[in-house]
Amino acid sequence: MIRILDRNFVPYISASEIQHRVKEIADKINVDFAGESPIFLGVLNGAFMFFSDLVKQITIPSQVAFIKISSYQGTQSSGKITAKVELTDDLTGKRIIVVEDIVDTGRSMEYLLSILAEKQVASVTIASLLQKPEALEVDGIPLDYVGFSIQNQFVIGYGLDYNGFGRNLPGIYVVKEI
């Protein structure tokens, strides 16, 4: 068990399970995007570990870019989404692979898709390490690559945080309800 601030967390998905799944997703992207040169667009901060491990397994020519979006406070989605770091890279005509840590309510992804809709991109594909199907509140979010579908519980580790802590853990942990 791990304690972070006022909460306890227990192991949920091991580091080796994650690495195995990330390799599977990368293999699939390498096949699906053969002959193309996409831009991997990482959503900071949460996706930084998934992003790094994923792109290391990519063999097609590709570029990277980042955007920072924020919606969470504590263990609840605040519902108010803001871009904290603007997208400055030129994405015109490019195929974009959005790399996210988790799709929870889907509001952050909906917001990001609205930003990308204003750019003249060739296509948008989404790779999310985690998804919480029961928490989804918006329609029309095509998750092309998903690492793990999980229950509607708060998780940390492998990039995901509880009030800023726990991102460095190599595995994923789930909150232990009191």
Q: CA–CA separation, 160 vs 48, rounded Å? A: 9
Using alpha carbons only, what angle is made at residue 125 by residues 31 and 52, rounded to the nearest 5 degrees? 75
Q: Cβ closer to ligand IMP: 60 or 135? A: 135
Q: Cβ closer to ligand IMP: 7 or 107? A: 107
For Mg ion, the binding residue among 38, 42, 46, 157 (CB under 5 A) is 46
Q: What is the per-residue binding string for ligand IMP in 70-99, x denoting contact by CB under 6 A?
A: -xx----x----------------------
Q: Provide the token pair at 62.
A: 């590709």
Per rule CB under 6 A, is residue 101 in the interface with ligand IMP? yes
CB of 144 to Mg ion, least distance (A): 17
Positions 136 through 175 that interact with ligand IMP (CB under 6 A): 154-156, 160-161
Residue 104 designated active-site:
yes
Per rule CB under 6 A, is residue 108 in the interface with ligand IMP? yes
For Mg ion, the binding residue among 101, 109, 127, 169 (CB under 5 A) is 101
> Which residue of the set 6, 101, 104, 161 is catalytic?
104
Separation of first and last alpha carbons in the chain: 13
CB of 1 to ligand IMP, least distance (A): 17
155 binds, among ligand IMP, Mg ion, none (CB under 5 to 8 A by kind): ligand IMP
Positions 11 through 70 that interact with ligand IMP (CB under 6 A): 46
User: Which residues are at the interface with Mg ion (CB under 5 A)?
Assistant: 43, 46, 101
